[in-house]
Structure 1
């Protein structure tokens, strides 16, 4: 028997509840109304679908604030159905403590309605939108993987020749990447000094306070390492 899921929809975040084929809770957590968070939730739902031979997801809102969630879930090939807010309210009031509304409780009620009812209306996207969303979701997933791979490669290269600098900067921040485009090895950082490095960062759009702190952190890491690593110039270029 397939698993059942329910999303209690809200503006800033949704609440997800997943029940297994016996009605026992599998997932129960918040999902931010943002692509990355919804992607992660979709992966969890796809894993549950594989484990329980399918899954159906109930949504209590159609369109509007549920637009991104609905499009991404359907884009991942997940089956969604509509459970009206009135149905959720009536079902919740029939449970112990149901007079007290909460996101987790409503999400579970939606999942239970999905489990027990077979006449809920499917939530499809139009053919054109469905095809476009699948392409966009797939393309975004590929871009995220590429960015993660590049970031990990950057960490590996930097940690191999200047680990102190790797710890001192954030490679997901633009200011850190601007620094690495010009200064990498301990020798060149010591030779340039914090004033020149900070000036370079400011010239390329980094805020003055951030430029000073990053330059000082880079120089401190360079002062702590005077060993020259074989191949460091090539690694720095890469």
Structure 2
């Protein structure tokens, strides 16, 4: 969505996230404005917008950012009830036209970009591990609460034990030697004590 200084719509169209189309878009906008001053605005600075931002920064194009939350709040004052891409684009363009308090996006240095990538990757891994542990605990609570209480969430040893023995009966029958060997082979000998407590909980509740 492209608006002039008075809020008149100059252009409105869907653009694929493709380099050729994204390069053509600013050319069309500049042609409509007579190559005057243009301010681009968007409601996200990562993900699907990364290619567009990179191309515009390479051109030296000024860009402002409206957060998704801000767009949601101000959208209530615009005509229409449904949430569509065209309506959101109109809100973002109109806000960029009227407001003077929007911060401009600036290219970051390589260290900051690499650090953000690493932090994002670590966050994903931590979230995945947390989801796995939560699913494991939820499953154990359904089939064997005593075992779940004895499980130590911070240690990998007990999870390793479950890769070899999954049922209360199997853990009880195989614990004394095979269970210890299974953990030792996986280099989790320090978990033998807590795992033994789990085996005791199993025996007590069978």
TM-score (norm 1): 0.44
Q: Name the SS for the 1:119 alignment partner.
A: coil
- Aligned pairs, number: 111
Matched, 1:110 2:92: yes
Higher strand fraction (1 or 2) = 1
Asked whether the equivalents of residues 31 and 38 of structure 1 are also in contact (C-alpha less than 8 Å), the reply is yes
Match of 1:19? 3
Match of 2:59? 76
Cα offset, 1:102, TM superposition: 0.6
Higher helix fraction (1 or 2) = 2
Asked whether the equivalents of residues 88 and 106 of structure 1 are also in contact (C-alpha less than 8 Å), the reply is yes
Match of 2:17 among 33, 37, 41: 33
Match of 1:55 among 38, 55, 74: 38
> Cα–Cα, structure 1 residues 49 and 73, in superposed 2: closer, same or farther, change >3 Å?
farther
Asked whether the equivalents of residues 42 and 76 of structure 1 are also in contact (C-alpha less than 8 Å), the reply is no
Match of 1:170? none
Q: Whole-Å Cα distance in 2 between the matches of residues 90 and 18 of structure 1?
A: 21
Q: Following superposition of structure 1 onto structure 2, how do residues 92-107 of structure 1 map, counting pairs within 5 Å?
A: 92-97=75-80, 99-107=81-89
TM-score (norm 2): 0.50
Asked whether the equivalents of residues 88 and 110 of structure 1 are also in contact (C-alpha less than 8 Å), the reply is yes
Q: Whole-Å Cα distance in 2 between the matches of residues 126 and 47 of structure 1?
A: 29
> Cα–Cα, structure 1 residues 33 and 26, in superposed 2: closer, same or farther, change >3 Å?
same
> Cα–Cα, structure 1 residues 111 and 31, in superposed 2: closer, same or farther, change >3 Å?
same
Matched, 1:64 2:54: no
Cα offset, 1:49, TM superposition: 5.0
Cα offset, 1:45, TM superposition: 2.8
Cα offset, 1:101, TM superposition: 0.3
Asked whether the equivalents of residues 83 and 110 of structure 1 are also in contact (C-alpha less than 8 Å), the reply is yes
Question: Once the two structures are superposed, what CA deviation does each residue of 1:72-115 show, in whole Å capped at 9, x if it has no partner?
Answer: 01212211000111111111111221x31010111010011101
Asked whether the equivalents of residues 78 and 91 of structure 2 are also in contact (C-alpha less than 8 Å), the reply is no
> Which aligned segments of 4 or more residues in structure 1 are displaced greater than 6 angstroms?
none
Unpaired stretches in structure 1, ≥5 consecutive residues: 1-16, 130-238
